[in-house]
């Protein structure tokens, strides 16, 4: 990743992904031919030793060397690369302290000064955990599928190889869209197995084939995301912490791998839900990851951030117009657009520069100088004339309540009031957090739909649950208790809103209580 330009970055990831897919694909015939597990373990252990022979061929990252102030070593590596590629380099010293902003002592503890990067770290870590537990859970449980175990293993291995091809489109449609779409497809496929359990004929061969197909689609989406995360995770960390950020994400992925055998063993069979609980868990986690991924920055064709400030404001800044006190990221009008076009050059992707500005005359041909200040994208661009879009948030929220009331009622009758209530609370809380950290209007609306649907689910399931616990004479007491709790919540909202004037922090404050409800599971 650090050896190539943004346009070529995808080639390095595809090479790694295809290598991984090829290895998984070759593991099946190897296991078929070597039936003794000790010899099979020995066979898969030996290739790692061969990698040690490449010590003198694979150089250190020049970007990392520069960030540590090792300019001589970095220049030696770059000149060696140029010689191999038969490219010409200028004479004299290539790098000095101005080549990259050196951050040799940047500690992970410095992340506390970058709240946006912390949130991104939490989201990407959960994504790694989700992908890890889902991928390994689906892979280790392939023996439960109908048919020959070696054929099933070969098909699922082939899925990993096919998933690598999805990486060929991420430079076209972007990392974010690819990740969110893949995880959403995986979530829908795995959650659909619940419907099959309740409505399909379990003895039919068509049911078995359909279940295997949904199982395979679920793994395809997860495999696509697995490959993508290796690149995306590292692209929005500063150079001095890039390996740390990727390593922490991978650690959560391996934690998911550790948990997956326990999940499959303890939740494999349920007297009512059968073997769908793991699929339901994986489906819910991938759904949350798909939606929370909307907050992560798009990094396609972007230069890697060098400093903590670059990473904190990745993709949401441009150079400020000098001597314009009220300059903003959003376009204020025709005059503002004209002034930006004169002053701020565009990069190769047609976006305004985040590092350079142009001085000089009105023709836009002045000297190009480094930025001294920046303006940031801090809002959805909604102003006084955007009342329709603002009201649309309430419309889609109430539409979500209506849909949730219907879907939640059906789910509660099939799965149970308690399960549905707690799942709705979890999604309600996650949706509220997503709304608080939404990067744009579309993401905010999407999260509000989920919050509204969970609101509709909880309205019905909690009321029914409380009614069914008491006798007819006491039923009114339970409903009155719920009504008064609702009233108290509405009363408390006013002083909370008075004390917390920033809407994002207010959204965060009202998103946290649903998580407290999860503590009453036992």
Question: For residue 366, what pLDDT band results from cuts at 50, 70 and 90?
Answer: low
Cβ atoms 222, 135 nearer than 8 A:
yes
Question: For residue 475, what pLDDT band results from cuts at 50, 70 and 90?
Answer: confident
Range with lowest mean pLDDT among 90-99, 125-134, 143-152, 274-283: 90-99
Using CA atoms, how far apart are residues 123 and 302, in angstroms rounded to an integer? 20
| Mean pLDDT comparison of 158-162, 208-212, 305-309, highest-scoring range | 208-212
Range with lowest mean pLDDT among 153-157, 315-319, 435-439: 315-319
Q: Is the pLDDT of residue 428 over 80?
A: yes
Share of the chain above pLDDT 70, in %: 82
Which is the CATH superfamily of the domain at 387-520?
A: MFS general substrate transporter like domains (1.20.1250.20)
Cα angle, residue 139 at apex, residues 135 and 144 outer, rounded to 5°: 130
Domain borders along the chain are 115-295, 320-376, 387-520
Q: How many residues does the chain have?
A: 522
Phi (first) and psi of residue 384, to 5 degrees: -60, -30
CATH of domain 115-295: 1.20.1250.20
Q: Classify residue 379 by burial, with Cβ atoms within 10 Å: 0-12, 13-18, 19+.
A: middle
Question: For residue 130, what pLDDT band results from cuts at 50, 70 and 90?
Answer: very high
Fold: same for 115-295 and 387-520: yes
For residues 463-488, average pLDDT: 81
Q: Is the pLDDT of residue 166 over 80?
A: no
Over residues 438-459, the pLDDT tens digits come to: 766 777 888 888 888 888 888 8
CA distances from 397 to 393, 449, 453, 511 (A): 6, 5, 8, 15
Which single residue is written with the structure tokens 């990831």?
A: 13
For residues 337-344, average pLDDT: 82
Over residues 233-246, the pLDDT tens digits come to: 888 888 778 878 88
The mean of the pLDDT values for the chain is 78
Phi (first) and psi of residue 452, to 5 degrees: -65, -45
Over residues 274-308, the pLDDT tens digits come to: 667 788 888 888 888 888 887 788 877 676 777 77
pLDDT of amino acid 422: 85
pLDDT of amino acid 101: 47
Using CA atoms, how far apart are residues 94 and 99, in angstroms rounded to an integer? 8
Answer whether 0.75 is exceeded by the pTM. Answer: no
């Amino acid at each position: 990743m650090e050896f190539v330009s943004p346009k070529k970055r995808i080639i390095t990831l595809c090479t790694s992904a295809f290598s991984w897919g090829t290895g998984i694909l070759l593991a099946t015939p190897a296991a078929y031919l070597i039936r003794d597990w000790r010899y099979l373990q020995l066979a898969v252990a030996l290739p790692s030793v061969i990698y040690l022979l490449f010590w003198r061929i694979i150089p250190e990252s020049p970007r990392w060397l520069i960030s540590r102030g090792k300019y001589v070593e970095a220049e030696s590596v770059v000149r060696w690369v140029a010689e191999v590629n038969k490219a010409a380099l200028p004479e004299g010293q290539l790098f000095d302290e101005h080549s990259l902003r050196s951050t040799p002592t940047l500690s992970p503890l410095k992340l506390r000064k970058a709240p946006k990067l912390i949130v991104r770290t939490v989201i990407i870590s959960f994504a790694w955990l989700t992908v890890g537990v889902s991928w390994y859970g689906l892979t280790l449980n392939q023996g439960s599928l109908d048919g020959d175990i070696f054929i099933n293993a070969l098909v699922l291995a082939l899925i990993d190889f096919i998933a690598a091809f999805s990486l060929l489109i991420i430079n076209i449609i972007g990392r974010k869209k690819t990740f969110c779409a893949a995880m959403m497809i995986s979530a829908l496929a795995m959650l659909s197995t619940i419907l099959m359990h309740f409505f399909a004929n379990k003895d039919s061969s068509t049911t078995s084939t359909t279940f295997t197909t949904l199982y395979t689609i679920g793994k395809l989406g997860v495999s696509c995301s697995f490959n993508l995360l290796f690149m995306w995770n590292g692209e929005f960390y500063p150079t001095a912490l890039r390996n740390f950020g990727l390593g922490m994400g991978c650690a959560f992925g391996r934690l998911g791998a550790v948990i997956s055998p326990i999940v499959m063993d303890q939740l494999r069979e349920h007297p009512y839900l059968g073997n769908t609980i793991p699929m339901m868990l994986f489906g819910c986690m991938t759904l949350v990851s798909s939606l929370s991924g909307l907050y992560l920055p798009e990094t396609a064709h972007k230069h890697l951030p060098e400093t903590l400030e670059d990473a904190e404001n990745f993709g949401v800044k441009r150079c400020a117009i000098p001597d314009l006190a009220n300059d903003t990221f959003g376009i204020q009008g025709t005059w503002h657009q004209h002034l930006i076009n004169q002053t701020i050059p565009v990069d190769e992707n047609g976006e305004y520069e985040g590092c350079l500005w142009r001085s000089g005359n009105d023709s836009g041909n002045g000297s190009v100088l480094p930025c001294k200040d920046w303006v940031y994208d801090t809002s959805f661009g909604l102003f006084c004339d955007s009342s329709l879009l603002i009201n649309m948030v309430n419309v889609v929220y109430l539409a979500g309540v209506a849909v949730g009331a219907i879907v939640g009622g059906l789910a509660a009758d099939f799965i149970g009031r308690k399960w549905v209530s707690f799942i709705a609370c979890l999604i309600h809380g996650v949706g509220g957090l997503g709304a608080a950290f939404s990067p744009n209007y579309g993401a905010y609306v999407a999260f509000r739909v989920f919050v509204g649907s969970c609101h509709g689910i909880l309205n019905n399931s909690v009321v029914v649950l409380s009614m069914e616990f008491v006798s007819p004479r006491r039923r009114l007491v339970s409903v009155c208790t719920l009504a008064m709790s609702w009233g108290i919540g509405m009363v408390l909202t006013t002083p909370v809103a008075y004390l917390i004037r920033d809407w994002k922090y207010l959204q965060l404050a009202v998103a946290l209580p649903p998580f407290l409800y999860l503590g009453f599971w036992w």
